[in-house]
Each structure stands twice: as C-alpha cells, then as structure tokens.
A and B are shown apart, each in its own frame.
Chain A
Amino acid sequence: MTSRTLSVDNISKLYRIGVPQVTSVNSSNPLVRVLTKPFANFRKYRSLYNFSEAELAGETPRDDILWALRDVSFDMDEGDIVGVVGANGAGKSTLLKVISRITPPTKGRLTVRGRVSCLLEVGTGFHGELTGRENIYMSGTILGMRKIEVDAKFDDIVEFSGIGKFVDTPVKRYSSGMSVRLAFAVMAHLEPDLLIVDEVLAVGDVEFQRKCLNQMSEAGDRGRTVMFVSHNMSAVARLCKRGLFMRGGELAQDAPIADVVYSYMTAGGQSSAERVWEDINEAPGDDSVRLHAVKVVGENSMPTGTVDIGHAMGIQITFDVLEPDHQLSPYITMVSDAGIDLFSSADSNRQFESEPREIGRYTTFCWVPAEFLAEGTHYVRVVMRAMNRQMLVFRESDVVAFNVIDERNSGFGTTWWEGKPKGLVRPNLDWTYEYTPPGMIIKG
C-alpha cells in the first residue's frame, strides 16, 4: 500500500510588486511631504502582505499584484519521482518554497506527511571558519537531522565526499570543488520522506551531477518521494516518471514525463519542435525562396518533441520556391544543448545542385537513424543555399528543438562502467571478433 506524502490543495501565492505612489494635493510643500511621508510608507509596508478579498478573488487583473502561483493542486505518493519543468518565472521555485515551508501560500492548503528536506542550494549553513567535521554537523542539523543521525552517518559522509584528511581543516581553505562535494555528501545522507531538489545540478562538474542524479534515483527506489526542478530536460526525463509543467504560475499539465517535456519544449514558440511561418513576408528567405515550416517528426512522420533513442526521427522542412531558375539546395546542422555543432547533412538529392527548381512548395525529410543521437536537447539550424548565385539565402539557427531520451535506461550506470555513455553522439556500432586459441598465437 502506498501512502500519500504530499497533497497540495488549490494553493495560490500572491506578491505585491511596486505599490503605486499616491501623491496627495498638499504634497507640493516639501515640509508637509517630510511629515506625511512616514504615514504613506507605513501603509505601503503594511500592505506588502495584506490582500483584500477582491484582490484575492483575482477576477480583475491588477498591475501591482503578481500571482506567482495560481490554484495549483496535485498529490504525490510514496516513491513518486516528479519533475517540475517550466520557463523562468513560471512559479517552480515558489512552489518548492511553499512546500518546504519557507514561505506560506496566500490561499489554499497543503498537507505533508513525514520529514521534508529541501535542497534549494548546496551548502546552506556552511561556514568557512568551521572545519569540515563541524560543517557536517552544522549542515546536517540545519537540514533537519539529529546529532545521533549525523554521528551514525559521519564516516559515510566523509568517505562519500572524499575530503579524507582535510576533515579537520577549516572549509575556507578547501578548494571550491571540495566544499561542494562535502556539502553534497551531507545532503546525500539525509533520509527525508520528501526530498525537494532545485537546480542543484547547475553547479559542479559532470561527475558531481551524475552523483546527484544517482542519489535521487536511489532515494526514489527506497520509497522516498522526490520532487525535482530542472531545466535539464534529459536529466528530468531520465529520472522522473511523472512531470508537472508550470506556466505563468499555473499547473498547466500533470502527466507522464515524456508528455510534459514535450509540452515544455513546444511551449513559448522559440524553440519548439514545430515552427510554421504563416505570413510569408515574415519567413526567412528572399524573393526567390522562403522557408515555410520546420518540424521534428517521429518514425511515423507525426510531429513530436521527444524522441526515443531506439527510433528513427526526421526533420521535415517545407519551403516555397517563388522564382524559377534558382538552383536551391537545403542543409541542416544538428547542434547540441551546449552549442556544439554535431554534424551537418546536405540534401542527398544532388540534382537540385545543378538543376533549377520549379515554382511551388517542397517538403523534404531528413531522416536521422535510430541509435545515433545521444540523450539530451538538440537544436536544428536550417540553411538554404542558392548554388547559381553562390550564396546562402537564409541561415536560421535554433529553428526547432527536440529532446532525445532513452526509455530503456531509466536508471543510470546499469550497463556502463562510467555511469552513462560518453560523447555527443551515441551510435550503435557493429563489433566483430576474431578468436585465436592460446596455442595458435604467434609470438614475435
């Protein structure tokens, strides 16, 4: 039987931003202003947190009120690992802060069963003047552990952090990597019922991030409930089964993680998996040719934002040729989320490099095989060459984006010694063998 760890019931969080200045008639006199200003200030600072019934109802939008969260409801059960995604300012961090009791909701209520550990930052409570040993106790108790629990885990924490003989050195003498490792080691040994993690993966090297993810994944396996906020879609997709998509303070979607990642990637327009220029005059290109649409499609030619590594996928490019007599040849470049050009692929139909295209709409597919791209977010640059004019008609970066996930590999490090496959691509190459029995090996 699973039990409910968290139940969030219609919570809203309001902030008052920039209360407008009320200037009274007699404020022209500076002396009067000096005397009356304190009263105005008093009202202003008082109103920071007080909202009227009308404001709470929120029927009419007001300039001075920000709804950081609006009517958010969801539940989490024991063992759930839930990823929270959304653009900056969508309310993700506010949601975490409300759940971890740092700030109260303005409306609604939530119930948490068990102990909550909230990792909004690596090394909360760390002090440079204290030694590693002292900071372990400090940080552990701040995160809600008892001293006896820290005692019991002390050796494991030191071992995990790898600080070894520096345990009695003040942390200010540590390298930044060492103190981060130590801080994380403490966090990794917490045993909360609900673990809340915000973007800690943004710090640290790849190895550290991997450790973080592993730790969270294991916490989930042990029946802990984990809530994880990140902009790293491949980490979210790999770690979580379920996702919450926050948009403008509202919970836009509560669904399996692949759907949520797709919604997030396709929301907002800028880097969606599908891009269409309805107005031809706005479209990239010139009088000879204009781009019409670019889509990421799955094996079935249907648009998708998330692609499993085991399936082929395609980039569908639609363009309108507006003048005859141009030798037009498109190509794409695949770009990693770190901005590295992975590869380019030109139109394999070579005839248009020497032959003009007729006026009309062309839709072309560039197919990427299965077992080729690595996990993570990919961006596509679309380029159109005019061979006859020896120029680029358009060169559009980040036209579409999509996410590659590996559905077979939900945990980490099950098959790879170094945790996960290395590199920017992950081709499935053929390996062959030749066997020589011991007696047949010719020396020399």
Chain B
Amino acid sequence: MSETPHDQPVVVIESKRSWAFVDFRELNHYRDLIYFMVWRGIKVAYAQSVGGLAWALVQPAIQILVFTVIFGNLVDIGSDGLPYLLFSTVAIIPWSYMSGTMSAASGSLIGNSAMLGKIYFPRIIYPLTPIIGGLVNFSISLILIVAVMVYYQVTPTKNMLLLPLLIVMMMMVPLAFSLWLSSLAIRYRDVGIVMGYFMRMLMYTAPILYPSSSISEEMRGWYVLNPIVGVIEGFRSALLGASPEMFIRWDSLICSVVVSLLLCITGAVYFRRMERIVVDVI
C-alpha cells in the first residue's frame, strides 16, 4: 500500500438526501464481498444436510410433478399441443428462480438488520446476494429441463440463442421488484404481509401453469405488462421452438424488458435514497 494521501478515496457524508443512482465504483471495490456473501448463502443453506445441492433438483422436481398431475391430468388445462410435463417444466424452473429470489431479496434488509447496524458496505449487496446466489440452484435444476427435453426428443432450434438474454431478464425481474420491496419494507412491514399474495398474483397472471393462448387478444395488451409473461413465453420459445405454437412473441419480450428496466432504475434510485436511513427506521 504505497498510496499517497491524494490517491486515497475521499468520502463526503452529508445530511442532504440527494437522488443518486448505484455507485458502481464502490460496488466494484466490494466485488470480493459479493462473491463471499453469495457463497456463504449457498453454503449455509445446505450446511449439515445429507442431500446438499441435490435438493436443488428434488424441490423443483416435486413441484413439477404435483402441477403435472393436477393441471395436466386431473384438470386438463391445455398446453398448446405439447406434453404437459414438458410444457410446465420449462416454465416452472425459471419461475422457481424468480419467486425464490424475489422473496429472499425483498426480505434481505429486514433479515440482516443486526449486520446493517454494525458495519457499512453498499446495502444493495443484501438484495443482490440471493439474486446472484440463486443462479447456482437454477443451473443445477437446468438438468431437469435437459432431461425432459431429451425424454420427449425435442430438437433445439436457433431460438436457443435467446437464452442468455432470457437469463438476464430472469434476473432483472426479481431485482426490479426487490429493490422496491426491500426498501419499502424497512418502513412499512405491510410488505412482508402482502408478499405471499403478491407472489401468487404474479404467478397466476403469467402463463406458467396454463398456455398464454388462452388469453384473448384484447386482454393481451394488459397481460404482457406483467414482466414475468415475457420471460416465461421467452423460455418456451427458446427451448421448444420446434413446435409451431411456440414462436417468439416479441410484444411480451419487449414489454418485459421495458417494465423491468423501468422498475430497476426507479427501484435503484429509491433504494439508494432509503439505504441511508435504513438503520434508523428499520
């Protein structure tokens, strides 16, 4: 450390509550911390469990089986001509990621109140941790998608090229919601109470268990406002593009990007404003 005093970072702490965006320089300085926080989250989640990371496979598998039995067999809900198991697996895996990380990230400030009061680091790391960490579970559960696709002999198409974009979108949706919800929750605990209903509402207003073709064209303009619709439809087209019903729906994709970007940017600004006072009001 041969820094001269002039090279050292100077931090000015002021009382004024200015509007600011994420300080990426500071975040970059803490990138090792983000890595260890993510890694701690994963390690602690499976500590002293026999199954370990295998649970990342078993949990979504059980969920898919339950939904397939109920909605695919007992109630024939329709699946655009595809086997229901295939139809639901490619949707439930990204949805599990989004719902799981959204709940964890939204409660991240409240859940870490002890640490918030003892040490400073950019508070956005708290909601970022489960969103990044969830990718490990997601990657493991991709095995299920591959297995089901192999079983039904699905041929991949060039739609697959959309996958990287879809994964980014899949991360942006929970980030967008949790930036708002985690910072609202520190002042209004109502957020925690409403969270369960909110998640179910998001789920039922997206084509996870049913095909989006059952939504009328007049309603579709409203329907696509739920950013999850674009992500789920995107995953189906990317993976099951060989089926004529599964063409890429650009309206929902673009809408999802726009809505989650808007929520992300405004959420980041609101989060930045609230993170300063989080210790005082939590």
Contacts and interface: CB of A to CB of B under 8 A. Distances in A.
Interface stretch (B28-36, B88-96, B130-138): B28-36
B14 interface: yes
B118 interface: yes
Contact of B120 (A100, A105, A134, A138): A100
A102 B281 contact: no
Contact of A109 (B13, B117, B118): B13
Given A105-B15, A113-B5, A193-B8, A127 B119 contact: no
Interface in A39-66: 42, 45-46, 48-49
B280 interface: yes
Contact of A143 (B40, B117, B119, B281): B119
A15 interface: yes
B155 to A, nearest CB: 44
Given A112-B13, A134-B43, A103 B32 contact: no
B8 A142 contact: no
Nearest to B7: A114
Interface residues of A, number: 50
A115 to B, nearest CB: 7
A104 interface: yes
A138 B40 contact: yes
Majority-rule SS of B interface residues: mixed
A130 B44 contact: yes
A104 B276 contact: yes
Contacts of B187: 45-46, 48
Interface string A213-232: 00000000000000000000
A19 B40 CA distance: 40
Nearest to B48: A129
Interface string B1-28: 1000100111111110100000000000
A127 B1 CA distance: 30
B121 interface: yes
A193 to B, nearest CB: 6
Interface in B208-250: none
A111 interface: yes
Interface string A387-430: 00000000000000000000000000000000000000000000
A118 B153 CA distance: 58
Interface in A89-143: 97-116, 118, 120-121, 124-125, 127, 129-130, 134, 137-138, 141-143
A125 B32 CA distance: 14
A199 interface: no
A142 B119 contact: yes
B77 interface: no
Given A100-B120, A147-B35, A130 B13 contact: no
A120 B119 contact: yes
B277 A104 contact: yes
Contacts of B17: 104
A101 B120 contact: yes
A37 interface: no
Interface of B: 1, 5, 8-15, 17, 29-30, 32-33, 35-37, 40, 43-44, 47-48, 115-121, 187-188, 276-277, 279-281
Given A112-B13, A130-B40, A130-B44, 11 more contacts: A3-B5, A15-B280, A78-B5, A102-B118, A104-B13, A111-B13, A114-B8, A115-B8, A115-B9, A127-B44, A129-B47
5 contacts: A49-B281, A102-B118, A109-B15, A112-B13, A116-B11
